[in-house]
Amino acid sequence: MKVVDKVVVVTGAGAGMGRELTLELVRRGAKVAAIDLRPEGLAETKTQAEQIGGRIETFVVDVTDGDAVAKLPAQVESTLGSADVLLNNAGIIQPFVKINELTIEQAARVMNVNFNGPFLMVKAFLPGLLAKSQAHILNVSSMGAYAPVPGQSVYGASKAAVKLFTEGLRSEMIGTNVGVTIVFPGAIHTNIAQNSGMAMPANADAAESKFKMTEPGVAAKAMIDAIENNKARICIGGDATLMDRLSRLNPVFAANLIAKQMASLLK
């Protein structure tokens, strides 16, 4: 399905990849319901979208708030029309520490935002999407769902949960009008740590310089292309593609390789 003239709901739209997704969607003629917890970020996204002629409405909502999320479909419909596409992009990382040093509260927050958020959004919007002649759901997972990163173990677990949830949802949607896509981004050049309220290790910049990062605009175009071409799964970035293959061929070797590369960040 083409996104032109479609109503697309985007979570995490106030910054980073979510903002780039919003801008790419309006460039292609979609109407965007932009969701985020931070009103100031949403305001900037709206300004940029309207500068290029986009139709956008913003909604300040915590995706972990079940009551607020349940009201969203009606709110979106009253301003833009009923949703045709749900794009679950919102997510946070954990503090860059080992499991032994991670608090239960920190772990619960990561799971709540990264898994419960998409689950609640799907539960809220799926009935309306099933009533459409064409509709789509895209959930953003992570390379960390299949390639374990020390210091981000619970983050990886949350994204692995999104992976299996989305793959199961796709199987349930076979024979319906709703397409489903799971996305595995590798390292994307965004401020996810800052947006997650997390401090990165002092040597993080030096470690990140070893890896080629994908620009968020490139990632956004790949995701919208996946929706329009009804792709079941995509990897974004050479790192995600390589580790996807390596993790299938030799998962222990792949895990050891990442552990070696990331060891300096946990010292």
Q: Give me the catalytic one of 59, 119, 125, 155.
A: 155
Cβ-count burial 178-206 (b if 16+ within 10 Å, e if not)? bbbbbbbbbbbbbebbebbebebbeeeee
Q: Which residues contact 61 (CB under 8 A, 6 or more apart)?
A: 35, 36, 37, 68, 69, 72
Sign, CA dihedral 96-101-105-108, equals positive
For 28, other C-beta atoms within 10 Å of its C-beta total 19
Is 155 a catalytic site residue?
yes
Tell me the CA end-to-end span of the chain in Å, nearest whole number: 48
If residue 35 lies in a helix (H) or strand (E), which one and from where to where?
A: strand 31-36
Query: Which are the catalytic amino acids?
Result: 155
